[in-house]
Amino acid sequence: MIVAAELFDNWGPTLWRASWQGGLVVLVVWCLCRMAPSLPARFQAWLWRLALLKFLVVLVWPAPIEVPILPAAAPASEVFPAQAIPEWSLLPSILVRESAPVRNVSLCLIPAVVWSVVALWQITRLAAACGAAHRLRRSGRVSASESLHAQLANLSKSAGLRTPPALLDTAGDGSPLLLGIFLPAIIFPAATLSRLDETERALVLSHELAHLRRGDLLWSLVAASVRAVFWFHPLAWLAERQLSLTQEIAADELAIAAQKHNPVSYAKLLISIVTKLGSFPLQPVLCVGVAGSHFSLRQRLIAMRYMKPASRAMVAACSCSLVAVAAIGVVPWTLIAAEPPAADKVPMAETNQDKVPASNSPDKVADKIPDKTPDKPAPKEQIERGRFVSFQGSTLTLSANSGATIANKIPASAKILVWNNEANAFRPATAAETLDRVEPGTWFIVRKSNENVALHIGSRKSQTVGTFVSYKDDRLLLLGKNLGESFTKKYGNNVHFNKFRDDVPAYESIDGGEYKPIGTANKVLGNVKEGTLVTVHGEGDDNITLVQIGVPAKK
């Protein structure tokens, strides 16, 4: 149950981010098309395609690009009292961060179940429509009209298609249809074919070939897929409808250019064709017809007022605009706090790690900061902690526990110290042989004092063991075990931890069994019973790596 809720917690934020970012792009495209109706329809269609693509890209993109435009966050300074941290464990307190309250697991699953059921139903309907289009194609037979085949071959060549689509006949009447993404075919009802003259047939074929050349069937399938996944989003339905309409108008533009009609004569001819068509059930996904719905036909006739040959400058401007929209609008992003100016940075408050005796601290090394004297106080030190992300050029990028990204310019004179497990101490190293080989996620401490910079890479692994007392307001309280007499006399047995990172895993041993994952620490600690043994593992300052609940069987 908890694992299922955890899966939804990981999926839910991604679905929400895709929903609001995709909806925002849809609104921008809608406003642009409303304010500039004279934009070429093929350009408008591409804008709607990119808007729909935004939903899918954000949904599958592993890590959104961080945009630092929010106000810079003030340096964290609130830490727990000194008695919160046992001396022997060398685990400092965790900086306070906001989080959502612990939720009921069954309530978390309700939206996931509802979304899954409706999405599955939508996908089933989409698959049924695809199957109907496939059966319709198989029911057709190759047209016996040689003149129609010759006309289709000439029009396909003029449209720039190497191979014309298959030309099939079917019984009855209705609108001619283009169907099939990989094996395209134009189905011409026999009764409709007998009613149309050669000019009207050429218009129908040119319109369907324009759809084929533009790949409209594939994009209609993409739009339907977006609507199936985001069935709850009204703007996803709007985008699908607008894409279908603009693709019809764009096909009209290409057909007018291919047949060398003017919009007025084309509109009259289109109306003449529609009056000769009978009823025919259009498939919503893999079929497009020349007639369409009454609303679609009306909007296409209105759009013909704005149709005119596009100049090269217009085409170039539209192409550049589309590239910009694709680069800026489609790529997923997330807003983060901007890095404060160097002059405004305030040194971080000392954590309880600094109160641990120097002989026991993994961060106390041979290059100690000079002792403070009344006459010449030591310069204030700025400390930044985080996990390694990258080192490019001279910029070191870390990921802090608060979620912020920390970037530091590392001078060539920086002192590099790497934790050595065998020696149980930091050892000096050179930047060239160290920074280019660091694995992502490695713990870093950057110490800055005036012009001096020291990098501490890695840290000693340690753990805090205690019995569970409470978990309230994201604060874990343990009754520590084996803390040592010197510690208990000074601080007592209570050990406090602030909220852990959202990705810190929690494992549980039930009835002396093996530890098994049950979710993340922040999600499950609220359900732990008082008196349960809890072990908190860490590696370096503010870097809790694992929480274990219970005691496994002894081997």
Cα–Cα nearest to 177, from 163, 155, 192: 192
* Per-residue confidence (pLDDT) for residue 372, from 0 to 100: 45
The answer on 185 and 295 residing in a single domain is: yes
Domain limit, last residue, from 442, 457, 472: 457
* Per-residue confidence (pLDDT) for residue 102, from 0 to 100: 43
Establish if 416 belongs to a structural domain: yes
The answer on 388 and 309 residing in a single domain is: no
Please list, in sequence order, all residues whose beta carbon lies within 8 angstroms of the beta carbon of residue 255, skipping any fewer than 6 positions away. Answer: 203, 206, 207, 210, 261, 266
- Mean pLDDT for the stretch of residues 317-340: 74
User: Which residue intervals of 392-492 are DSSP H helices?
Assistant: 485-491
Establish if 554 belongs to a structural domain: no
Please list, in sequence order, all residues whose beta carbon lies within 8 angstroms of the beta carbon of residue 225, skipping any fewer than 6 positions away. Answer: 56, 126
Establish if 311 belongs to a structural domain: yes
The answer on 428 and 286 residing in a single domain is: no
The answer on 64 and 177 residing in a single domain is: no
> Residue 80 is part of which domain span?
2-85+98-115+330-337
- Mean pLDDT for the stretch of residues 245-253: 90
Question: How far is Cα of residue 184 from the mean position of the Cα atoms in its chain?
Answer: 34
The answer on 479 and 428 residing in a single domain is: no
Average pLDDT of the chain to the nearest whole number: 76
Look at residue 33 and tell me whether its pLDDT is greater than 80.
yes
* Per-residue confidence (pLDDT) for residue 84, from 0 to 100: 37
Confidence category of residue 402, pLDDT binned at 50, 70, 90: low
Question: How far is Cα of residue 493 from the mean position of the Cα atoms in its chain?
Answer: 44
* Per-residue confidence (pLDDT) for residue 223, from 0 to 100: 93
Domain limit, last residue, from 406, 440, 457: 457
Look at residue 80 and tell me whether its pLDDT is greater than 70.
no
The answer on 469 and 433 residing in a single domain is: no
* Per-residue confidence (pLDDT) for residue 103, from 0 to 100: 46
The answer on 402 and 319 residing in a single domain is: no
Strands (E), 393-460: 395-399, 405-409, 415-420, 425-429, 443-449, 452-457
Confidence category of residue 365, pLDDT binned at 50, 70, 90: very low
Cα separations in angstroms, 503 against 301, 388, 506, 523, 538: 56, 15, 9, 10, 13
The answer on 195 and 104 residing in a single domain is: no
380 vs 527: which has the higher pLDDT: 527
Q: Of the given ranges (191-195, 219-223, 338-342, 402-406), which has the lowest mean pLDDT?
A: 338-342
pLDDT 10s digits, 38-77? 888 889 999 999 999 999 888 888 667 777 766 654 443 3
* Per-residue confidence (pLDDT) for residue 343, from 0 to 100: 45
The answer on 309 and 163 residing in a single domain is: yes
Domain limit, last residue, from 457, 491, 523: 457
The answer on 126 and 266 residing in a single domain is: yes
Query: Could you say which DSSP state residue 276 is in?
Result: T
pLDDT 10s digits, 146-162? 888 998 999 999 888 88
* Per-residue confidence (pLDDT) for residue 480, from 0 to 100: 84
Establish if 93 belongs to a structural domain: no
Token pair recorded at residue 379: 């310069």
Domains contained in the chain, number = 4
Establish if 280 belongs to a structural domain: yes
Q: pLDDT exceeding 90 applies to what percent of the chain? A: 13
Q: Could you tell me the pTM of the whole model?
A: 0.56
The answer on 302 and 251 residing in a single domain is: yes
Confidence category of residue 433, pLDDT binned at 50, 70, 90: low
- Mean pLDDT for the stretch of residues 205-216: 91
Establish if 221 belongs to a structural domain: yes
The answer on 144 and 130 residing in a single domain is: yes
pLDDT 10s digits, 257-276? 887 778 888 888 888 888 87
Establish if 555 belongs to a structural domain: no
Establish if 357 belongs to a structural domain: no
